[in-house]
Amino acid sequence: MLIAALAILAGFVLLIWSADRFVDGAAVSAKYAGLSPLLIGMLVIGFGTSAPEMLVSALAALDGNTNLALGNAIGSNIVNTSLILGCTALIAPIAVQSTILKKEIPILVGAVLVVGALFMNNALSRLDAWVILAAFFAFIFWSLKTAKMTPDSSLEADVEETANTNISLKKAIFMLVTGLVILIGSSRLLVWGAVEIATELQVSDLIIGLTIVALGTSLPELASSIIAARKGQHDLALGNIIGSNIFNILAVVGIAGAIQPIESLSLDIMHRDWPFMAVLTVAIFFMGIGLKKQGRINRVEGGILLSAYIGYTLWLVTSAL
């Protein structure tokens, strides 16, 4: 048990460190390759901050721990939307200015509903997984097309401001490769420790995935969003969350299902976890879009989101006892 706990702790530390190096290396390499700051923000950074979830869920699926894989994906979205966005809004209210983000938020709502519809038969077949992945690739195509049509987005200015131009291409590639290698190793360590803890405590893999693993793999989003909010880069702070959630619900769930189809989903996913994630997503839709005024997530709404996370976590803990 102690060794498993140390493995989880070491996995988290290495995961955060390697994810940061991977994102920086990928962003600078993409800039040298001629990608626009907007594309770097939407795709490269979005993929990079979701890399821990992708690798952890993929490795869990390869080991046959599908509940851990799905719990990580759904739990990460819950952590992103409630804990991270709530804390970020408490630090600095988030004003939504980017027209692209206003289009991405409805896409996130649609993605959550599509995955929920595929879950309705209490299974996730390989065909379902490929449908989800097809939706993900359609989103990537849309992002590329939108980026070319919207060169003056405020999100682009935020990404341009954070870009580190002092890193050479050679160093960026080294950071990219080493970050990815350590990401894979730390993800494997984290999955092993989580499964061992679940076995020792006789707690389901789903609960471990929704709590410990989801929180740990979402730490890169927490750091990047809070830093962006403190700099007044509102669109980047929210963009990190929205982009990561789309990657999680489409790419992470799709990859896990393609690797290991699920013949019988846990009823808790449909009765508790997916509905809670869906409610949070719809709440962000109304907060971020703004019906008759500019979309804005204020401190009161941030407090509500944070309270929702605390209540949900207590719900999970009590149900596991």
In the chain, where the domains are located: 2-320
The pLDDT, as a whole number, for residue 226 is: 73
Distance of CA 72 to the CA centre of its chain: 9
Q: What is the pLDDT along the chain (321 residues), one digit of tens a residue?
A: 778 888 878 877 887 777 677 767 766 776 777 666 556 655 666 666 677 788 888 888 888 888 888 998 999 999 999 998 998 888 888 777 666 667 788 899 999 999 999 999 888 999 999 999 999 999 888 877 776 665 545 555 555 555 555 777 788 788 878 877 887 787 778 778 877 877 787 888 888 888 888 887 777 777 767 766 776 766 667 777 888 899 899 999 999 999 999 888 888 898 999 999 999 999 988 887 765 666 678 889 999 999 999 999 999 888 876
Q: Token pair 């626009």 is at which residue? A: 36
Q: Which structure tokens are listed for 104?
A: 């991405």
Strand partners, 94: 297
Contact present, 22 and 176 (Cβ < 8 Å): yes
pLDDT of amino acid 117: 93
The CA distances from residue 117 to 30, 73, 129, 165, in Å, are 36, 16, 12, 44
Of 1.10.10.10, 3.20.20.70, 3.40.50.410, 1.20.1420.30, the CATH number of 2-320 is 1.20.1420.30
- Model pLDDT, residue 308: 95
Beta bridge partners of 262: 124
What integer pLDDT is reported at residue 151 of this predicted model? 55
Is the Cβ–Cβ distance between 188 and 50 less than 8 Å? no
Sign of CA dihedral 90, 96, 98, 99: positive
How far apart are the C-alpha atoms of 132 and 253, rounded to whole Å? Answer: 8
